[in-house]
Structure 1
Amino acid sequence: MSGSVSPTESTSTSTSASDAVATSDDAVNKDRRAPREKTSREQAPREKARKALVVLAPALIYFGVREFGLVLLSWLGVVHGTTMSEALTSWDGQWYLAIASNGYGGVPDSLVDAFGNRSGETPLAFFPGYPWVVQLFSQLPGVGMVLAALLASAAFGILAAYALARLGQLVSGGSRRAGLALVALFAASPMGIVLSMAYSEAMFCALSAWALVFVLERRWIFAGVCCALAGLVRPTAGALLLAVGLALLVAIVQRKDGWRPWLGALLAPVGLLGYLGWVGVQTGSLTGWFDLQERGWDSRFDGGLATVRFSGEVLGSARSVLEVGTVVLLVGAVALLVISWRRGLDWPLQVFSVGVLLMNLGSNGLMNSKARLLLPAFTLLIPIALALAKRKPTTMVLVLSAAAVGSAWFGAYALTGWSYAI
């Protein structure tokens, strides 16, 4: 019939309508999904950049603070007629470079001790770990000995930064912000310029910081290895050996970690005792290294009498900025030790701080070096880092920026305006 619709046509019409609606719905849904997919694609690079920034933050903070210090050193060097190379390789740096280049037997006779004297045994006063690494870096294509020394210090400084970032999270009340603040404070230490010099401080601090991280994580074998390596770098490893050794002893007594603390305990003293023993054989005396220190630099343990006398003389006469600054730093270090104890900082870290301060404050020798010798006492900075982490970001940034400026000036002055050893 002409006015009717067949069932087939009706079904076809319904299907077409349904398809049209479905197509319309798909179009709408596609339109809705498109911005989301586009936003997701736009956010992916940002997320990758954010993750990269999180990973690189310790290195960037450390590098930024140290680079600022080098810029100021360069400027003051021009004012005082000192080149960057001369400043960054001065004093002990010359000894380390000579040992790295020619070994202990090839150190030029022009290098003498604090009294202007020199014997064939004098170079043995300097530990071999850092010169060995410098010699390895110098094997890189196009890298001379001076550049190798500075690259080694920079590399170990960054390793120390990552260890301190981790340490700031592991301590009681720690956080990621505290770890990053600790990195900045370490890089901005009053004599932080030494971390960028041909000196062994950066290497020692890196090994010490990682050893303490491994102690808090109860990774005893790694702690023992780091302690052993640190023993080949500086005598301050005695303080690290005390802290790590006591932690290992406690672990052994508690019998919680099986054989690992035993192996860590066997490894920890190998570096320090091994080198002191080797020097003893070379000099024919068990106290050979200590004799060299006393004979060449008047360095010996006197219970702090020389430090007290020096502090009284400096404060009574105010004879130089560096000396007054050194005394202020020593007093501040003792105050931070008390704060660390009152705050209940993890005891291995406190033991390390006490050991470093005892070796520094309790010894005679070059008083002007005591500010530099505080660098390994980075554990004293932890209470400051924890306090800053709880402040507003602007407050933290302002305080750390001020510390960086002060450190840059103090270090640059020590290398250009100060005429004596640091």
Structure 2
Amino acid sequence: MNDLASTAAPGRTLCRPATRAALRRALPAVAAFAAIRLLGVAVLAVWSAAAGNNWHTLLTARWDSLWYTRVAELGYGYTVEPVPGLIHSNLAFFPLLPWLERGLSALLPLSAADAGMAVAWLSSLAAAWALYAIGERLHGPRAGIALATLWAALPIGIVQSMAYSESLFTALAAWSLYAVLTGRWMWAGALASLAGLTRPVGAAVVAAVWITAAVTVWNDRAGGASLRSSLARHRGMVTGVLLAPLGWCGFFLWVGARQGSFTGYLDVQGGWGNGFDGGIAFATYLWGLLSGPGFATGLGLLAAVVLVIWLYLHGARRGQPLPLLVYGGLVLFLALTAKGFFGSKPRLILPAFPLLLPLAAGLARWRPLRAGLLVGVVAAASAAYGAFWLNGSGPP
């Protein structure tokens, strides 16, 4: 919250020279990110060939990528019943990625699946640029590079190269948060609306915009400013606040109308075995591992949960800006307190890049050679794990 003053500072619209200058500064981070991701795909290709699998199929036609492709090709309304009592409907998948898949496949000689992978790859580069911009603003250029490379080298970083929506969502969310940090409220609201059309956790971006706007006005009023002068100082704030929830609320309400119930989207998620239970199911699952033959797995999972919570609290103690705290905290909270598909929780936490900021700030203080060697080792381990996971039988 110490940086809330900078969050509230009005920004000017980026002109082309400024954009080019910002991109030049970000190029080392984007290049390092691309190198790490290309390493991951290369290791996947070699591993898949040895295992008799097709790396391209693993990236474009497995798990959720198949559901996105069906939405792009057939529209909404497709359901399956894998086991009695569970109805898997493609209404669970938000529409922006399928829309882009359909549009690209209509314009270019690409299948919907290949279009989805293209969107993911391009979006991941846009996300890397945004992460650099945030890290640079808060801790300097080296921290920006470290943040982008650490995000690329996460154990499940291969998801960023799959025809999934995580890369697209992270790019939209990160640029929306950067717009909040720099006072570009209309951009923040528009990007938050698009993020809300991408994944259910888009609500976290909306909350970051709304809560930061409310606290900014509150602080101005506490400083003696009138409401009118506060809103005049923060140009576009009202518009941004109004734009932010349109995507998420629009899809939620559309599914509700289609299902004939205001809670229609929640009912669809329930058909998948998903929902919010405050973390009871996850805690039960974790305890089952710790108290049985899966003790080692449970211990590793518990350590990972403790680590991400510690990273969040450490960022809060270091004065991480309010929009990043709200966004990162909600992404983490929703991931850990949802029931069902426990193996997908690492992927659900993937967009919570603010958790990496304390590590990036610390890495930026290392000597470049030492930092590069560490990132290289982590990237190699990430590439090997991604190849192992995708050639296996289930989520991480």
What TM-score range do you get, normalising by the shorter chain? 0.7 to 0.9
Equivalent residues of 1:251, 1:261 under 8 A apart: no
Moved more, 336-345 or 373-382: 336-345
Shift of 1:80: 2.7
The equivalent of 2:186 in structure 1 is 221
Q: Give the total of aligned pairs.
A: 364
After TM superposition, the structure 1 = structure 2 runs for residues 83-232 of structure 1, keeping only pairs within 5 Å, are: 83-89=54-60, 90-105=62-77, 107=78, 112=80, 115=83, 122-171=89-138, 174-232=139-197
Determine if the alignment matches structure 1 residue 420 to structure 2 residue 391: no
Distance 1:199 1:114, change over 3 A: farther
The offset of 1:140, in angstroms, is: 3.4
Alignment CA distance shift 1:407-1:115 (3 Å)? farther
Q: Which amino acid aligns with 2:166?
A: E
Which residue does the alignment assign to 2:210? 245
Report the Cα offset of residue 328 of structure 1: 3.7
Deviation string 1:115-148 (CA, Å, 9 cap, x unpaired) is 47776x8110110011111112213332222221
Map 1:17-36 → 2, pairs under 5 A:
none
Q: Taking structure 1 as reference, are residues 97 and 116 closer, same or farther at Cα in structure 2, changes over 3 Å only?
A: farther
**Aligned-pair CA distance for 1:199:** 0.4
Instruction: Tell me, in whole angstroms, the C-alpha distance in 1 between the residues paired with 2:295 and 2:107.
Output: 42
Q: Is the 8 A contact 1:252 1:262 kept in 2?
A: no
Supply the distance in 1 between the matched residues of 2:377 and 2:296 (Cα, whole angstroms).
18
- For 2:350, give the aligned amino acid: L
Matches within 5 A, 1:304-323: 304-317=279-292, 319=294
TM-score scaled by length of structure 2: 0.86
Unaligned runs of 5+ in 2: 1-20, 221-226
1:113 Cα deviation from its structure 2 partner: 5.9
d(CA) in 2 for partners of 1:113 and 1:170? 48
1:252-271 correspondence to structure 2 within 5 Å: 252-253=217-218, 254=220, 255=227, 256-258=230-232, 259-271=235-247
Report the identity percentage: 36
How far, CA to CA, are the matches of 2:296 and 2:54 in structure 1? Answer: 22
- Counterpart residue number, 2:27: 56
Does the CA-based 8 Å contact 2:26-2:133 persist in structure 1? Answer: no
1:98 Cα offset (Å): 1.1
Aligned to 2:264: 288
Q: 1:386 to 1:114 in 2, by over 3 A?
A: farther
Task: Measure, in 1, the Cα distance between the counterparts of 2:22 and 2:188.
Answer: 29
CA 1:368/1:51 → structure 2, altered by over 3 Å: closer, same or farther? closer
Going from structure 1 to structure 2, the CA distance change for 1:268 and 1:102 (only over 3 Å counts) comes to: same
SS of structure 1 residue aligned to 2:209: helix
- Paired AA for residue 31 in structure 2: L
Report the CA distance between 1:288 and its aligned residue.
0.7
Q: What does residue 4 of structure 2 align with?
A: none
CA distance in 2, matches of 1:144, 1:195: 19
Q: Are 2:50 and 1:79 equivalent residues in the alignment? A: yes
**Greater Rg by CA:** 1
Residue identity opposite 1:243 in structure 2: A
* TM-align CA RMSD: 2.3
Residue in 1 aligned with 2:250? 274
Instruction: Decide whether aligned partners of structure 1 residues 115 and 398 sit closer, same or farther in structure 2, where only a CA change above 3 A counts.
Output: farther
Amino acid at match of 1:98: R
5+ residue gaps, structure 1: 1-49
Q: 1:272 to 1:103 in 2, by over 3 A?
A: same
Indicate conservation of the 8 Å contact 2:89/2:271, yes or no.
no
- Residue in 2 that maps onto 1:411: 386
1:8-19 correspondence runs (5 A):
none
TM-score in terms of structure 1 length: 0.81
Partner of 1:373: 348
